[in-house]
Amino acid sequence: MKNLKDKVVFITGGARGLGYAMAEKFAAEGAKIVIGDIQEALAMESAEKIQKEFGVETYAFQMDVTSVENIKAAFAKVKERFGKLDVQVNCAGIQIRCPSKEFTEENWDKLMNVNLKGVFFCCQQAALLMGDNGGAIVNISSGTSTQTTPGRAPYVISKGGVNAMTAVLASEWAEDRNGKKAIRVNAVAPGWILTNMVQDGYRLGVVSENQILAAVPFKRLANPSEIADAVVFLGSDESSYITGQTLFVDGGWSALGMPAMDLIK
């Protein structure tokens, strides 16, 4: 058990996919779940499903992480509803594939506003709400932050920035050296995950399973629940002396050291 009963956990991008898997895992440990997602109806539906399955309190609303005012309003809602925040998970993110020579300023701003600006200001507002009570922040990075992938340069840059952001904020917010009131900041960097997008890629012939598996020593893709397990660990007191770290959950992809291939054309 991770001792998360009645802890308030706020997950951005938590309405579907990896974010939803994290919400399920935290709920299974007894945490109260807050979902902020750009898709309001889906966020509400996902929160209702979690409440019915796990019997925990849930709260959901539309959230646009590219807007600082919207971010501030979201955290104000959490404060009004619960009066505190224990764990913040910044999962909202986007990916735009395009050769670097063709990447537009518009798409650069769109990607960075979600993947870097949004993460930073969610960290900021989470820390302000946590205050002297401390807490844990988990940012979702990517294995591509070190295993660079051609055709996705801005995405790779943004995730490398998340790793750096995680380290500097962790050092800045570790005020209480005994670890009781520090705000711990860590990141999880997933490798290849068995998602609907990857499976669609297999079917359409734009992704080769053999290419992916050649780069992964475990010779399989991760299940979303395996990534969620790592996030729950970093959000719990079981990781009370861990901060400023990026945990690669990638089946050994980063350890093998093979450069990532341009798997998705």
Which are the catalytic amino acids? Answer: 155
Q: How far apart are CA 125 and CA 214, in angstroms?
A: 41
Total length of the chain: 265
Per the CB < 8 A criterion, the answer to whether 184 and 177 are in contact is no
**Joined tokens for residue 182:** 């520090």
| CA separation for the pair 190, 24 (Å, rounded) | 18
For 147, counting Cβ atoms within 10 Å of its Cβ (0-12 exposed, 13-18 middle, 19+ buried), the class is buried
Q: What is the CA radius of gyration of the chain?
A: 18
Q: Does an H or E element contain 172, and which? A: helix 153-172
Please give the single-letter amino acid code of residue 162. Answer: V
Helix axes 40-54, 17-28, angle to 10 degrees: 30
* Contact (Cβ atoms closer than 8 angstroms) between residue 129 and residue 178: no
- Computed from CA positions of residues 150, 66, 80, 46, in that sequence, does the dihedral angle turn out positive or negative? negative
